[in-house]
Each structure stands twice: as structure tokens, then as C-alpha cells.
Amino acid sequence: MFVRGKKNLMKILIIGGTKFLGRHLVTAAQTRNHEITLFNRGKHSSENFENVEQIHGDRNSDLGKLDGRSWNAVIDTCGYLPQTVKASVEALKNSVEQYVFISSISAYADFSNSNYDETEPVATLTEEQKGKANKIDPKGEITAVVLEDMYGALKVLCEQEAEKALPGKTLIVRSGLIVGSFDSTDRFTYWAMRTADGGEVFAPGTPNRFVQLIDVRDLAEWIIRMIECSESGIYNVTGKPFELTMEKMLEEIKQVSGSDASFTWVDEDFLKRENVEEWSEMPLYMAESNEEAQGFLSANVDKALAKNLEFRPLNETIEDTLAWRKTRTDYMKAGISVEREKELLRKWHEQ
């Protein structure tokens, strides 16, 4: 039975669910009165979850714990290796009506052109990379950093395993840069906190360079609505391209936080000369001379927009991110230290 275009109650299994996107998927689903089961290793806190069933186990060895159960949909938030996803989807294909796989825009083979859509060629592994991938322990902590330059191609193989087992019943979500509370990468969060701290801010490249991101809550809510409508297929899901510049983002953070920040924009030559690392030391920055990566933050999202992808104002994302990060005391996982920033600024002004 459908009410206002949505199902009254759905049972949703989330593989993972206690980290970044997973936490927001739980919130988005419960807001719409769905029943949630989490299957994970229990390594991350879930103390704030209420009315959520939890099954603890390793997806590489304990899938038998899910036997005899059924759900309307499963959301796989942490599939990195194709053999792992294959095992999961094979175990669940007769227990779920829909398999949602969280992939990445890194799945594409070529970022030299901007505004790329879902029909673009995807990344593949070399024979050497296949050898490396086979040596990765599936029970270890697997991240994009661990997978290095294989990350996108492995995501593609994971997508293919899901679709192979459940043809026409798989929703592939190629997400872009996800930001907001509980983001463990600190990429957007670095800029939010650094700008809020005020003073002279070391800013990379040209101010009018476009960036592209999506609030984790917008992504989670869209996924739940897509599940309610039993949608399938491949979708790029991130912010609209060519709308947000680095300067606009930083100025909005300054306004929301009420800081006295001023931005010193340093050029690419200086960044290279001082060995400032793209993306890690300078989050959201990729050298404009890097033709292979020019279009990375410009994915076409028309297909998702046609399925009612919506975006909240940037100021709400900034407020949420700042409020969350200010409750934490751990070090930033992205960005440069205060000392290195001061040294780089000194060198920039002296040249």
C-alpha cells in the first residue's frame, strides 16, 4: 500500500550504519517510520540509536546470522572489495527486494572533461592492481586510502557484482564529496573550522574554482525516498556542478561563523614549490594544470535531480558541521597545521 507516494512501513537492513552516512540513513529512515536493522562488527558507537535492531558480525564470515530473515531493502554502505560484495549480495538476494550500493564518482575512468554523466566509461584495474587487490585482507579496516588508486575501479567491480546477483533490483549511488556531521575525513570540516577560527587563511588556487559537495542529510533522505519507490539504476548523487566556488564557500563559512577571516589566495606554482599536497593538506583543491582531474568536482546530476534530489542551503550544512566538530577534541584528519600555515604564509609574502 502506498501513501503519498511512499510505503507505510519498510524493513531496511543497513550493512554498516554506525559511521558517517550510515548514521544519517538511520535518522532519515526512522523519520519516515521505517524499521531498521544494522549489521556490522560493533566497532563504532551506536549508543544514540533508539528502536534499532543490531546484529553484530563480520560480513566476510558471519552472513549466516542473517539467514531466515527478510527485508524490503538492504543498503550497503561499506563495500570496497568485489568478493565481499559478492558474498553479501548472494547471501541476501532471496531475502531482499532491493540492493542499494553506495559507490563513488571515483568509478569513472576519465575526469579530464567536466559535466560527465552516468554513461561515461568506468575505471578498470591493471593486472598489477588486480594482484595488489587480491592481497588485501577483507577483514581489515578498508578505506579509500588503503585502496589508493584502485578505489574507483574496485567500486565498479562491486557495482557489477550487485547487479549480477539482483538484475534490475540494484540501486547504484555514485556519491561525490559528502559533508556534514560525523564526517571522519574532515575535508570540508577543515575549511569550516579554520575559517571560523579567523585570521589570515591560506587558500589554494584561484577563488573562482568550482567545488562540488552534498550535505550527508540530503543524500540520506534521497536514498530513502528512492527505496520507497523501488528505484534502480546508476545515479551520480552530489551537489549541482558549476554553482559553488571555493571563494563563495569560504565567504559563506565566514558569514555563518561570524569570524574575521581574511583569505590569502596562493597560486599553483607556489603550492608545488612548497610541496603542499592536493586534497589532503589542501582539501577540495586539485591543481588546475592537472588535465586528468580537471572535471572531478563537476559530475552531472541531472538524472538524480529528475528523481527529486533536493539540496538544503549551504549555511545549514556549515552550521551543522561546526556544531558537531566543536564537540570533538581529536585532531583534524585533513588540512595543514597552524605552524605550517604560518610558515607558508610567511614565504608567500616574502617572495
Domain positions in the chain are 2-350
- Residue 331 pLDDT > 80, yes or no? yes
- Residue 47 pLDDT > 70, yes or no? no
Residue 215's identity, in one-letter code, is D
Confidence class for position 1, pLDDT limits 50, 70, 90? very low
What backbone phi and psi angles, to 5 degrees, belong to 95?
-115, -10
Calculate mean pLDDT across residues 267-286: 95
pLDDT of residue 132: 85
Give me the DSSP letters along 9-61.
Answer: --EEEEES-SSHHHHHHHHHHHHTT-EEEEEE-S-S--TT--SEEEEE--TTT
Confidence class for position 2, pLDDT limits 50, 70, 90? very low
Say if residue 239 is exposed, middle or buried (CB neighbours under 10 Å; 0-12, 13-18, 19+).
buried
When the pLDDT of each residue in the chain is averaged and rounded to a whole number, the result is 93
- Residue 48 pLDDT > 80, yes or no? no
Q: Which is more confidently placed, 5 or 228?
A: 228
Residue 324's identity, in one-letter code, is W
- Residue 300 pLDDT > 60, yes or no? yes
Largest alpha-carbon pair distance within the chain? 69
- Report the SS3 class of residue 332: coil
Which tens digit of pLDDT belongs to each residue from 111-161? 999 999 999 999 999 998 888 888 887 777 766 656 778 899 999 999 999
Confidence class for position 53, pLDDT limits 50, 70, 90? very high
Is pTM beyond 0.85 here?
yes
pLDDT of residue 162: 97
- Residue 189 pLDDT > 60, yes or no? yes
CATH 3.40.50.720 fits 2-350, yes or no: yes
Calculate mean pLDDT across residues 182-206: 97
